[in-house]
Chain A
Amino acid sequence: MEESRAVVRTEIINFLLEQQNKDGSWGFSPGKAGVIEPTAYALMSLASEDRGREAVERGLVFLRRTQTARGAWAVSTQDSEEAPWATALAGLALINFRGNQEVCLSAAEFILDSFGRMPRHWVLQAADWMRSLDASYVEENLRGWKWSPDTANWVEPTAYAVLYLKSFMQSSAGTHVAGVLARARNALRNTRMREVLTEAESLLSRRMCKEGGWNYGNSSVLGIDLRPYPLTTALVLIALQGPCSNQECHKSLMYLREVVLAERSALALCLVALCFDLYRLKTEPLIQTLADLYEETQFFQNIKTSALALLVMQSVKGQNVFLLRNS
């Protein structure tokens, strides 16, 4: 079994190295234009592979070159609109490499600036304000992150942004900042970041489905409860990682354990495996299913899934790329 997994690992690394575009990016599948998401995962996964050094260097150059003046990234080389969720992923890919402090800082600031509410008609806003005068009022339109500007907040972009901001705070903690003004600015930013994280985590908590776990957005529509999905549940648990003392974490992990053995999506299985590893749950059966799926489908030549599978294999050896040290 070990031998066959080593073969899969080698094949995935070869695949990732072969599929890097000339500009240093990766698309979602062979021959496609560069997209931040597969590029970020490919970089994260190749970072600890000796054979990946040159590709990683080129990938880092690509990311630094495509960051906008406001510290953001667009989702793809075929688009120019800045996207907070793509920025969070690019930041996660860059944060563990030396010399990217400024790049990561501006990414974090862009993400903070794009934190916002779902737009509401002014009449509804006025009604919200009136209701807020009541002591029992609970804010429903919590701030978070969107897929596209001026739309609603969704689970996945919010989870990516939360994970990045936490990683950024962790990586910048203990960094020496020279000068009184700079230190004050730093302290202010950290305070704001903590406030933003508290509200964003609260938004994620409130969107949990009745049975535990997360859907892509709403937990119910037209009064009917929606079911959660393994992929989004794993992603949120990765973002919320910490001591699993609260009920939502327990319920959601229990949901994942119940459904994951029947899961046939390699993409979802990779995220669940990385999540289980963070929460110290068994990942072995998932890794076996992943290996079987690879044999059957080669993950449909999907570069993001392939990179995530490599990250899963690395996590078995104690290197979980999503692990926050102080969680």
Chain B
Amino acid sequence: MTDHSARGTQHPALSTPHSTLSTQRVDRRRFLKAAAGAGLASLAGGCAGRKPTWKNPASRKPNQSRVAILRAKSYDQNLTSVILDGIRSFHLAIHGRRVLLKPNLVEYERDTVINTHPAVIGAAVEAFLKMGAREVRVGEGPGHRRDTDGLLMASGLYQYLKDTRTEFVDLNLDDMRRMSLQSDFMGIESLYFSETVLQSDLLVSMPKLKTHHWAGMTLSMKNLFGIVPGIKYGWPKNFLHWHGIHESILDINSTVRSHFAIVDGIVGMEGNGPIQGTPKHVGVLVFGDDPVAVDATCARIACLKPENIAYLDMANRFLGNLEEARILQIGEPIAKVQSPFEIIKDFESLKG
């Protein structure tokens, strides 16, 4: 299947408000088939003979990656010390640098766990300041909500930001700059990105460990959808869906590098994520400087096969390491913290 047809099947399911359910299901099945199975071929094969490529700066797959899994039972414990331990497991240059934390702040609903918990964000702010960062800011461009102010208040993040006197940047409304894409999966030449992101010295992706009903899982790589400004691409950022979620994840991550990832896996989300799923206690924070390795490890923690997630499998070719043999685990071994995540029927193939 060409990537053009893969994109085509995606449109109605993602965008048409009044498609019948059966239409949505057919389109969804076709898309998922393309993305999860033959979709790898679509990512690799390209449209009408166009073979997706990546430029040299995007080729950053190391020989060996490291991922740290540290236990954190609850949000009430001292998370700053856990995060300090996590950061210190890596050779990150932090002193005197401008750090931007990019959490996942999507939506707020009481009794569910959609967002990166404010306690994790607050602890990360403290940890990076303790490590000598010149400045730590928090930035997010929510995917479909325009009222970021309401999300900040309702999610409780506002209070943490106030307590730690941390500046928040709404990346949807930020100044923006057009960047040439460093890989060619979406079939376009450039995308706009938030200027604050581009000017930060250290971009830290801080996703929630969640399933995703279009992408399989949403982790540190998918989290970078939030650095693409809504003011240009809308609410939701339908432009990215239109060009393929897997394709967009790859092009964004090849163009803007997140230097570090801290995944909030204390309570993750299983089932119909990223919004309507069910809370799932795992009790870990996952750290790493290779986003592919971090995301692959998180998938394994959820007992899902990362190589069956189309964008991760493709990212393994140039952006980072997916194979377990190439990832040195620090802290807890995966087997000790593994907890099977429920997943919607369409993604059964991800189960091991």
Contacts and interface: CB of A to CB of B under 8 A. Distances in A.
Given A140-B18, A216-B144, A223-B24, A120 B149 contact: no
A267 B151 CA distance: 11
Interface in B3-40: 5, 8-9, 11-12, 14-21, 24, 28
B236 A217 contact: yes
Interface string B284-328: 000000000000000000000000000000000000000000000
Interface residues of B, number: 47
A267 B177 contact: no
B246 interface: no
Nearest to A206: B18
Given A206-B18, A223-B21, A32 B150 contact: no
B337 interface: no
A28 B285 CA distance: 35
Interface of A: 27-29, 32-33, 35, 37, 75-76, 78-79, 118-121, 124, 140-142, 146-148, 150-152, 154, 156-157, 206-207, 216-224, 229, 231, 263-268, 297, 299-300, 302, 305
Contacts of A157: 234
Contacts of B95: none
Given A147-B235, A148-B233, A224 B175 contact: no
B176 A299 contact: no
B140 interface: no
Contacts of B146: 156, 231, 267
Contacts of B168: 300
A184 B166 CA distance: 60
A299 B177 CA distance: 26
A300 B239 CA distance: 28
23 contacts: A27-B175, A28-B170, A33-B175, A75-B231, A76-B232, A78-B175, A121-B8, A124-B12, A140-B19, A140-B20, A147-B235, A148-B234, A148-B242, A150-B242, A152-B238, A154-B238, A216-B144, A220-B17, A221-B24, A231-B147, A263-B150, A265-B150, A265-B153
B16 A140 contact: yes
A268 B257 CA distance: 34
A157 to B, nearest CB: 7
B16 A32 contact: no
Contacts of B21: 223
B147 A267 contact: yes
Contacts of A33: 175
B11 A119 contact: yes
A218 B147 contact: no
A119 B150 CA distance: 33
B11 A152 contact: yes
B149 A305 contact: yes
Contacts of A220: 17
Contacts of B192: 78-79
B212 interface: no
A218 B17 contact: yes
* A contacts with B: majority SS: loop
Nearest to A155: B17
B17 A224 contact: no
Nearest to A83: B232
Interface string B158-197: 1000000000101001111100000000000000100000
Nearest to A271: B147
Contact of B15 (A152, A267, A300): A152
Interface in B46-93: none
Nearest to B172: A28
Contacts of B338: none
Contact of A147 (B24, B147, B239): B239
A27 B174 CA distance: 9
Contact of A148 (B17, B145, B174, B239): B239
Most chain B C-beta atoms within 10 Å of own C-beta, residue among A124, A263, A264: A264
Nearest to A231: B147
Contact of B147 (A27, A79, A265): A265
Contacts of B175: 27, 32-33, 78
A264 B150 contact: yes
B16 A152 contact: yes
Contacts of A27: 175
Contact of B18 (A32, A120, A124, A207): A207
Given A152-B242, A268-B147, 5 more contacts: A220-B17, A222-B28, A268-B150, A297-B158, A300-B168
B175 to A, nearest CB: 5
A219 B235 contact: no
Contacts of A221: 24, 213
B11 to A, nearest CB: 7
Nearest to A77: B175
A299 B235 CA distance: 20
A216 B143 CA distance: 11
A71 to B, nearest CB: 20
Contacts of B232: 75-76, 79, 148
Contacts of B176: 76, 78-79
A266 B149 contact: yes
Contact of A219 (B11, B17, B174, B238): B17
Contacts of B170: 28-29, 300, 302
A14 to B, nearest CB: 21
Contact of A154 (B18, B150, B234, B272): B234
B232 to A, nearest CB: 6
Contacts of A297: 149, 153, 158
B147 to A, nearest CB: 4
B40 to A, nearest CB: 21
Contact of B239 (A119, A151, A263): A151
